[in-house]
Structure 1
Amino acid sequence: MRRLSVFNLTTLAFGLAFLYLPIAILVIYSFNDSRLVTVWGGWSTRWYAVLLHDRDLLAATLNSLAIALASATLATILGTMAALALTRFGRFRGRMLLSAMVYAPLVMPEVITGLSLLLLFVAADVDRGFSTITASHTTLTMCFVTIVVQSRLVDFDRSLEEAAMDLGCPPLRTFFSVTLPLIAPAVAAGFLLAFSLSLDDLVIASFTTGPGATTLPIRIYSEVRLGVKPEINAVCTVLVAVVATAIVMASLLSKRGAAAPGLPGR
Structure 2
Amino acid sequence: MNRSPWALYTAMAFGYAFLYVPIVSLIVYSFNKSRLVTVWGGFSTEWYARLFNNEQILSAAWRSFLIASGSATLAVVIGTAAGLALARFGRFPGRGLLSLMSSAPLVMPEVMLGLSALLLFVSMQQLIGWPTRGMSTITMAHVTFTACYVTVVVRSRLTMMDDSLEEAAMDLGARPWKVFFLITLPLIAPALLAGWLLAFTLSLDDLVVASFTSGPGASTLPMLIYSKVKLGVTPEINALATLVVLLVMVLVSIAGILLHRQQKQRKRA
What corresponds to 2:222 in structure 1? 217
Task: Quote the Cα distance in structure 1 between the aligned partners of 2:169 and 2:87.
Answer: 19
CA drift of 1:26 comes to 0.9
CA drift of 1:221 comes to 0.6
User: 178, 200, 210: which is aligned to 1:173?
Assistant: 178
Task: Quote the Cα distance in structure 2 between the aligned partners of 1:147 and 1:246.
Answer: 22
Three-state SS of the structure 1 residue aligned to 2:217 is coil
What corresponds to 1:208 in structure 2? 213
CA drift of 1:253 comes to 6.6
CA drift of 1:7 comes to 7.0
CA drift of 1:144 comes to 1.0
Task: Quote the Cα distance in structure 2 between the aligned partners of 1:135 and 1:102.
Answer: 15
Cα distance change, pair 188–64 in 1 and its aligned pair in 2 (3 A)? same
User: 228, 236, 241: which is aligned to 1:231?
Assistant: 236
Three-state SS of the structure 2 residue aligned to 1:211 is coil
What corresponds to 1:140 in structure 2? 145
What corresponds to 1:182 in structure 2? 187
Deviations 1:46-72 (A, max 9, x none): 222221100000000000000000000
CA drift of 1:105 comes to 1.2
Partners of 1:72 and 1:194 within 8 A in 2: yes
Cα distance change, pair 2–82 in 1 and its aligned pair in 2 (3 A)? farther
After superposition, residues 157-168 of structure 1 pair within 5 angstroms as: 157-168=162-173
- Give 1:238's aligned amino acid: L
CA drift of 1:9 comes to 6.1
What corresponds to 2:50 in structure 1? 50
Aligned residues: 264
Partners of 1:189 and 1:254 within 8 A in 2: no
- Give 1:92's aligned amino acid: F
CA drift of 1:35 comes to 2.4
Three-state SS of the structure 1 residue aligned to 2:121 is helix
Partners of 1:34 and 1:42 within 8 A in 2: yes
Task: Quote the Cα distance in structure 2 between the aligned partners of 1:204 and 1:153.
Answer: 30
> Identity across aligned pairs (percent)?
59
Cα distance change, pair 4–171 in 1 and its aligned pair in 2 (3 A)? farther
CA drift of 1:260 comes to 8.7
Task: Quote the Cα distance in structure 2 between the aligned partners of 1:4 and 1:202.
Answer: 44
- Give 2:196's aligned amino acid: F
After superposition, residues 97-112 of structure 1 pair within 5 angstroms as: 97-112=97-112
Cα distance change, pair 138–156 in 1 and its aligned pair in 2 (3 A)? same
- Give 1:93's aligned amino acid: P
Task: Quote the Cα distance in structure 1 between the aligned partners of 2:169 and 2:211.
Answer: 48
What corresponds to 1:30 in structure 2? 30
Deviating more after overlay: 146-155 vs 59-68:
146-155
What corresponds to 1:20 in structure 2? 20
Deviating more after overlay: 4-13 vs 23-32:
4-13
Unaligned stretches of 5+ in structure 2? 126-130
What corresponds to 1:59 in structure 2? 59
Task: Quote the Cα distance in structure 1 between the aligned partners of 2:210 and 2:33.
Answer: 33
- Give 2:93's aligned amino acid: R
Unaligned stretches of 5+ in structure 1? none
1:93 aligns with 2:93: yes
1:69 aligns with 2:74: no
CA drift of 1:15 comes to 4.4
Three-state SS of the structure 2 residue aligned to 1:236 is helix
Cα distance change, pair 21–186 in 1 and its aligned pair in 2 (3 A)? same
RMSD over aligned Cα atoms: 2.6
